[in-house]
Amino acid sequence: MSDPVQLSLDDGVATITIDRPDRLNALDGATLAAVDDALETAREDARAVVVTGAGEKAFAAGADIERMSEMGVEAAEAYCRQGHAVMNAIETFPAPVIAAVNGYAFGGGCELALACDFRVASERAVIGQTEIDLGIVPGWGGTQRLVRLVGDETARRLVMFGERIDASDAYEAGLVGEVVAHDDLAAHADEMARELAAKPRFAMAAAKEALNQAHEMGQREGLDFERRTWSSLFGTDDQREGMAAFLEDREPDFA
């Protein structure tokens, strides 16, 4: 059987491609495990990551419905835990992750995009939390991350109606940050990743961690976290180089 996920690493940019186009990149257990492995392999060298789907039609058409149709409560709980672990690994990955949404992103595919730092959609993308029509609910973070991203009303519309919305409606809803021509998507996401990869690594990881805490902590606690994060960067190569470059009127060169 061919590998369900491809990983390429080039100059600090990792590209993770879900590669089951005949199943519209549905995320079965083996594919989730392969995403996890790819993140682990990339962890040391990647300074930015792009996640996308193989083929012309889908980013990921969700969790694998054929597999789920045979599950009982115990197997479902294990699949849910596995999905949560992979989405959390993306969310806490120490470099920014961009979802290049190249087509259908339904159910678990939408949740995969939600776990990323940025969502850029092809104008052909169609997105939705469609689980309600399968008799279930989002189970890989959709009930939580979607509310935080688009607000309660829009999240309820998506989850309760199971609506499938196109890229421009997703942009209007704040579900994706940008829509680009389909043929430009890969190059655009790669360009974003390269720009992010050239930024200071420790400061970038710290920024991501602190921004994530805004969803986890109350503001007072979050500000304490910010103070510790901010001051811990002083004395790092990132801080010395960034400030020296400004004072010397040159471009910074972050190692």
The answer to whether 124 contacts ligand COA (rule: CB under 6 A) is no
Cα–Cα distance, 76 to 53 (Å, whole number) = 24
Binding span for ligand COA by CB under 6 A among 7-15, 43-51, 60-68, 80-88: 60-68
The burial of 228, by beta-carbon neighbours within 10 Å (0-12 exposed, 13-18 middle, 19 or more buried), is given as exposed
Q: Exposed, middle or buried: residue 129 (CB in 10 Å: 0-12, 13-18, 19+)?
A: buried
Should residue 127 be labelled a site residue for ligand COA when binding is judged by CB under 6 A? no
C-beta of 22 vs 216, nearer to ligand COA: 22
* Run of H or E including 6: strand 5-10
Instruction: Pick between residue 93 and residue 104 the one whose CB is nearest to ligand COA.
Output: 104
Confirm whether 131 is a catalytic residue: yes
Cα(40)–Cα(16) distance, rounded to whole angstroms?
Answer: 12
Among 117, 131, 190, 238, interactor with ligand COA by CB under 6 A: 131
Alpha carbon 229 to chain centroid distance?
23
By CB under 6 A, what part of segment 132-161 binds ligand COA? Answer: 134
- Which span sits near ligand COA by CB under 6 A: 99-107, 117-125, 152-160, 245-253? 99-107
Whether 128 sits among the annotated catalytic residues: the reply is no
Of the listed 54, 107, 131, 205, which one is catalytic? 131
DSSP label of 180: E
Decide whether 33 or 65 has the Cβ nearer to ligand COA.
65
Regarding 106 and contact with ligand COA (CB under 6 A), the answer is yes
Nearer to ligand COA, 95 or 115 (CB): 115
**b/e burial code for range 175-191 (CB count within 10 A of at least 16 → b):** bbbebbebeebbebbbe
Q: For residue 56, give the nearest of 124, 126, 127, 129 by alpha carbon.
A: 124
Q: Which of 24, 38, 176, 192 binds ligand COA (CB under 6 A)?
A: 24
* Helical axes 152-161 vs 142-150, angle rounded to 10°: 140
Applying the rule CB under 6 A, the residues between 65 and 94 that interact with ligand COA are 65-66
Q: Would you count residue 20 as binding ligand COA (CB under 6 A)? A: no
Please identify which residue in 12, 108, 142, 200 interacts with ligand COA, judged by CB under 6 A: 108
Tokens of 160: 């309760």
Catalytic residue among 26, 99, 111, 141: 111
β-partners of residue 51 are 16, 99
Interaction site with ligand COA (CB under 6 A): 23-24, 26, 61-66, 104, 106-108, 130-131, 134
The catalytic residue positions are 63, 108, 111, 131
